Structure 1
Amino acid sequence: MRVLVVDEEQGAPPDHWSAIAEHTVRGRALRFGLAEAADTAFDPAADHNREYVLARVRAFSLNYRDTALALGEHAEGTHDRGRGFGSDFVAEVAATGSAVRGLRPGDRVIPSMDWPPRPGDTVSAGVVTNTASRELQRVHHSRLVPVPTAMSDAQAASFSIGAQTAYAMLRRAEVGRDTTVLVTAATSMTSLFAISAACGRGARVYCLSRSGRGADLLAELGVVRSFDPNDPADLKDLARLARQIRGFDAVVDPFCDAYVLTAVKLIGFNGHYVTCRLMGGPHDEMAGTDTPGGHWLSMLTSLVSKNATIHGQCLGVRADLEAALGDWDAGRLRVVVDSEFSGADIGPFVRRTFDPARLGKAAYVFGDRDHDEYPERDDTTKGA
Structure 2
Amino acid sequence: MKAVELHSFTKDGLVLAERAEPAVGPHEVKVRVRAVSLNYRDHMVTSGMYGIPAEALPLVPVSDGAGEVVAVGAAVTRFKVGDRVTSMMTRDFISGELTPERQAAQNGGPLDGMLQEYAVLPEHALVAFPSHLSYEEAATLPIAALTAWNALTEGGAAPGRTVLLQGTGGVSLAALQLAKLFGARVIITTSKEERRARLLELGADVVLNYKTSPDLAGEILAATDGRGVDMVIEVTGLSGMQTSLSVLRLGGYIGFVGLLAGMGDAPDFTLPLLFKNARIRGVLTGSRDMYEDMLRAIGQHQLKPIVGEVFALADFQRAFERYQSSAVFGKVVIRLD
In 1: Cα distance, 2:136 partner to 2:282 partner: 29
Quick check: 2:21–2:118 contact (8 Å CA) kept in 1? yes
Could you tell me the TM-score, scaled by structure 2's length?
0.87
In 1: Cα distance, 2:4 partner to 2:286 partner: 27
Matched ranges for 1:68-217 at <5 A: 68-73=44-49, 74-77=51-54, 79-80=56-57, 82-114=58-90, 115=93, 127-130=106-109, 131-184=113-166, 186-212=167-193, 214-217=195-198
2:271 is equivalent to residue 338 of structure 1: no
Change (3 A) 1:120 1:99: farther
In 1: Cα distance, 2:270 partner to 2:157 partner: 27
Task: Report the alpha carbon displacement of residue 229 of structure 1 after superposing the two structures with TM.
Answer: 3.7
Larger Rg: 1
Find the residue that maps to 2:276 and give its secondary structure: helix
Find the residue that maps to 2:255 and give its secondary structure: strand
Q: Deviations over 1:75-125 (max 9, x none)?
A: 324642x43211110021122122211200111111234558769996687
2:11 is equivalent to residue 35 of structure 1: no
In 1: Cα distance, 2:216 partner to 2:103 partner: 44
**Residue of structure 2 equivalent to 1:237:** 219
Quick check: 2:185–2:205 contact (8 Å CA) kept in 1? yes
Quick check: 2:237–2:261 contact (8 Å CA) kept in 1? no
**Residue of structure 2 equivalent to 1:246:** 227
Instruction: Out of 226-235 and 266-275, give the one that drifted further.
Output: 226-235
Quick check: 2:38–2:320 contact (8 Å CA) kept in 1? no
CA RMSD across the alignment = 2.7
Find the residue that maps to 1:238 and give its secondary structure: helix
Give unpaired runs (5+ residues) of structure 2.
none
In 2: Cα distance, 1:7 partner to 1:353 partner: 20
Give unpaired runs (5+ residues) of structure 1.
9-24, 43-48, 368-384
**Residue of structure 2 equivalent to 1:374:** none
Task: Report the alpha carbon displacement of residue 213 of structure 1 after superposing the two structures with TM.
Answer: 5.6
In 2: Cα distance, 1:146 partner to 1:78 partner: 34
The number of aligned residues is 329
Q: Which amino acid aligns with 2:297?
A: D
Could you tell me the TM-score, scaled by structure 1's length?
0.77
| Selected match of 1:325 from 295, 298, 302 | 295
Q: Which amino acid aligns with 1:61?
A: S
Task: Report the alpha carbon displacement of residue 6 of structure 1 after superposing the two structures with TM.
Answer: 4.6
Quick check: 1:83–1:134 contact (8 Å CA) kept in 2? no
Matched ranges for 1:297-336 at <5 A: 297-304=270-277, 308-331=278-301, 333-336=303-306
Q: Which amino acid aligns with 1:268?
A: R
Change (3 A) 1:56 1:212: same
Change (3 A) 1:126 1:228: farther
**Residue of structure 2 equivalent to 1:264:** 245
Quick check: 1:253–1:273 contact (8 Å CA) kept in 2? yes
2:3 is equivalent to residue 3 of structure 1: yes
Over the matched positions of the two proteins, sequence identity in percent amounts to 26
Change (3 A) 1:228 1:261: farther
Task: Report the alpha carbon displacement of residue 272 of structure 1 after superposing the two structures with TM.
Answer: 1.4
In 2: Cα distance, 1:195 partner to 1:145 partner: 23
Instruction: Out of 101-110 and 67-76, give the one that drifted further.
Output: 67-76
